[in-house]
């Protein structure tokens, strides 16, 4: 029994790495999503082109390959990353590309009359974006952002391939040391699922709070 609890400790250490990757990856993904998503609706061709290129490239190539590039190829260009840094970079850039399309779609979903009100009130384009359009678009983005965050959580398991001791990696370790398959894989199954539930719940709570007062019912 004490042996099992020792192995469980290993798995929980892996869970911490997974959580760390998910949080840091999500922050990077969020930043990239807003940069690229707003770039896509920019007035300037060059910004639209850069944003489109980024989105298409990171959606169109596999996250495995992106991770291998971040970890194994970048050092040849003089940039050596730790496994954690490489993992955050690949996950953030990959999921950010998907989320950028969410940002773009949400911005376009805000009605034309809101843009016209901004013009009539003489707000500069970025002021209207910051104070009027984005706050309303954010509410549209949130549910899909929740999906993206869960995707990112599940994608963190790829970092086990560059020997980062995340949840999946630790499960393999425990399995090879104990010969037991069920216990480690059942534990990681439950932990991934619990983490995903926490993300869902968090996003829903945030959504409820932000929608408060908007429709006159949820005051």
Partner 1 sequence: MPAPIIKVDAISKSFGAFKVLDGLSMQVMPGEKLALIGPSGSGKTTILRILMTLEKIDGGHIQVDGEQLYHMERNGQLLAADERHLARMRQKIGMVFQLFNLFPHKCVMDNVTLAPMLTKGVARAAAEKRAMELLDMVGLADKAKAMPAQLSGGQKQRVAIARALALSPKIMLFDEVTSALDPELVEEVLNVMRKLAAETDMTMLLVTHEMGFAHDFADRVLFFDRGRIVEEGKPDEIFRHPKQERTQSFLKKIIAAGHRV
Q: Which residues bind partner 1 (CB under 8 A)?
A: 113-114, 116-117, 119-125, 127, 131-132, 135-136, 139, 213-217, 219
CB nearer partner 1, residue 42 or residue 85: 42
CB nearer partner 1, residue 136 or residue 157: 136
Cα within 13 Å of Cα(21), Cβ side: 35
Whether residue 124 contacts residue 1, with contact meaning beta carbons closer than 8 Å, is answered with no
Residue 42: Cβ within 10 Å count: 14
CB of 16 to partner 1, least distance (A): 37
CB of 131 to partner 1, least distance (A): 6
CB of 108 to partner 1, least distance (A): 17
* Greatest CA separation for the chain: 71
d(CA 84, CA 100): 23
Whether residue 185 contacts residue 167, with contact meaning beta carbons closer than 8 Å, is answered with no
CB of 100 to partner 1, least distance (A): 23
CB of 169 to partner 1, least distance (A): 44
CB nearer partner 1, residue 131 or residue 208: 131
Q: Is 6 exposed, middle or buried (CB count within 10 Å of its CB: 0-12, 13-18, 19+)?
A: exposed
CB nearer partner 1, residue 59 or residue 130: 130
CB nearer partner 1, residue 5 or residue 122: 122
Residue 197: Cβ within 10 Å count: 11
């Amino acid at each position: 029994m004490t042996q099992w609890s020792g192995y469980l400790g290993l798995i929980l250490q892996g869970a911490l790495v997974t959580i760390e990757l998910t949080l840091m990856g999500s922050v990077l993904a969020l930043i990239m999503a807003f940069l690229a998503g707003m770039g896509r609706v920019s007035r300037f061709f060059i910004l639209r082109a850069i944003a489109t290129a980024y989105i298409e490239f990171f959606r169109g190539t596999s996250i495995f390959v992106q991770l291998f590039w971040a970890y194994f190829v970048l050092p040849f260009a003089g940039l050596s990353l730790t496994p954690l840094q490489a993992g955050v970079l690949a996950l953030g850039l990959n999921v950010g590309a998907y989320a950028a399309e969410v940002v773009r779609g949400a911005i376009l979903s805000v009605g034309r009359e809101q843009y016209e009100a901004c013009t009539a009130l003489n707000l500069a384009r970025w002021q209207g974006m910051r104070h009027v359009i984005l706050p309303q678009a954010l509410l549209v983005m949130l549910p899909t952002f929740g999906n993206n965050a869960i995707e990112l959580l599940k994608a963190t398991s790829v970092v086990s391939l560059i020997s980062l001791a995340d949840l999946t990696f630790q499960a393999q370790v425990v399995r090879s040391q104990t010969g037991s398959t069920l216990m480690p894989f059942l534990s990681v199954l439950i932990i991934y699922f619990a983490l995903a539930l926490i993300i869902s719940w968090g996003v829903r709570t945030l959504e409820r709070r932000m929608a408060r007062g908007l429709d006159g019912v949820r005051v």
